[in-house]
Amino acid sequence: MRNVIILGSGCAGSTAAIYAARAGLNPLVVVGHEPGGQLFLTTEVENFPGFPEGIQGPDLVLNIQKQAERFGAEYLYGGVQEADLSKRPFRVSIDGNWQECRTLIIATGASARWLGLPNEQKLIGHGVSSCATCDGAFYRDQKVMVVGGGDSAMEEATFLTRFASEVTLVHRREEFRASKIMLDRARANPKIKFLLNATVDDVYDVSQNMVTGVKLRNLMTGETWDQEVAGFFLAIGHIPNTKPFVGQIDLDPDGYILSKGGARTKIPGVFHAGDVQDRIYRQAITAAGAGCMAAMEAEKFLEHEGH
Ligand code: NAP
């Protein structure tokens, strides 16, 4: 029986682990299917306080983990598949092994959204990517495509022009969710071509195990055509990782945890931290702050319960 299990090893989960471990709660951190969370897919983080020269995303999150381990936090590789929050102790299944805890901190984050194209998943890592900062450098002097109309799409398209000879930005309508400054920056970049009112029907070529092109469709006319690209980047938002908790805690229509104030969910003893609840700020520093809050609330809860 654990005092606290923390689900997720991103900035939120590992900061919760520092606080919980330092409070002597001997937390178990379940690393999750994306160890280190989204920071692990980033390059330079320039806005995390305390690093005047910036820090690489993976270094930042691994440092936080090391700091938590220094105080005795234990990290377990695996992901949560099921949870039973109907009674205490809470139970979570980590790749088939059930673990029990008095308090649970859900810091499972959010994962990139995919289009669901027939060949998309088969070509992930072979030209299909959700992370321009991770994979952009592979496309020096090649043509690439970015899908999306939000800030992420503008940021990724602009970033990719450092390497690619041409970036086609495909968006399904004419209006953008992106902020004006980021849209203007992308529009002013001569390497970025905008393709609006269009969608991608599929990506080629599985038989060669690499991306060679995509099938496009004009959403106004229905016309379809093929375009050659070497890299295909998705920037169409994220999905919160809350599947094991559906029907147990309150979620909003998109699946983000609905907070009951502070780090509380509707179940006493179950807390949230980071992007799994936050659809607005989504920053490393806000996730870290949320992890701190969740651990302090778990500690207070355990103390109140006499543990
Ligand atoms: P977002 O704002 O939700 O935009 C997602 C985009 O993907 C939308 O344009 C949407 O189209 C499109 N999309 C979604 N599903 C699609 C589908 N199935 N097919 C085609 N297109 C699809 O997500 P985001 O860009 O990741 O940004 C999320 C948050 O992070 C925002 O608050 C943003 O400001 C913030 N952010 C900030 C920065 C920065 O300031 N540096 C950088 C990145 C992100 P529709 O518009 O038609 O729905």
Distances in Å between the Cα of 152 and the Cα atoms of 148, 203, 237 are 8, 21, 8
Tokens 């529009």 map to which residue? 187
The answer to whether the CB of 115 is under 6 A from ligand 1 is yes
What is the atom index within ligand 1 of the atom nearest the CA of 179?
Answer: 34
Residues in the chain: 307
Of the residues 11, 101, 135, 292, only one is catalytic, namely 135
The answer to whether the CB of 151 is under 6 A from ligand 1 is yes
**Residue-wise pLDDT tens digits, 140-164:** 999 999 999 998 999 999 999 999 9
If one looks up domain 2-111+238-304 in CATH, what number appears? Answer: 3.50.50.60
Above 80 in pLDDT, residue 42? no
Nearest CA to ligand 1 atom 34: 151
Is 201 labeled as catalytic in the residue annotation? no
CA 153–ligand 1 middle distance (angstroms): 7
- Rounded average pLDDT over 223-233: 98
Residue 5 pLDDT: 98
Nearest CA to ligand 1 atom 39: 151
Please state the pTM of the whole predicted model.
0.80
- Rounded average pLDDT over 119-143: 91
**Residue-wise pLDDT tens digits, 69-95:** 999 999 999 999 999 999 999 999 999
Residue 44 pLDDT: 74
Residue 189 pLDDT: 98
Instruction: Pick 142 or 281 by higher pLDDT.
Output: 142
Domain limits, CATH 3.50.50.60, in the chain: 2-111+238-304, 114-234
User: Which of the listed residues 111, 117, 146, 152 should we mutate to test ligand 1's pocket, taking the one with most ligand atoms within 8 A of CB?
Assistant: 152
The answer to whether the CB of 148 is under 6 A from ligand 1 is yes
Is 135 labeled as catalytic in the residue annotation? yes
Is 292 labeled as catalytic in the residue annotation? no
Nearest CA to ligand 1 atom 31: 151
If one looks up domain 114-234 in CATH, what number appears? Answer: 3.50.50.60
Residue 45 pLDDT: 81
Residue 21 pLDDT: 98
User: What percentage of the chain carries pLDDT values higher than 90?
Assistant: 90
The answer to whether the CB of 282 is under 6 A from ligand 1 is yes
Q: Give the span between the Cα atoms of 99 and 238, in whole angstroms.
A: 28
Residue 47 pLDDT: 85
Helix-helix angle 57-70:11-22, to 10 degrees:
20
Q: Give the span between the Cα atoms of 146 and 41, in whole angstroms.
A: 17
**Residue-wise pLDDT tens digits, 2-40:** 999 999 999 999 999 999 999 999 999 999 999 999 888
**Residue-wise pLDDT tens digits, 241-274:** 999 999 999 999 999 999 999 999 999 999 999 9
Residue 161 pLDDT: 98
Residue 131 pLDDT: 85
Nearest CA to ligand 1 atom 2: 150
Task: Give the amino acid at 115.
Answer: L
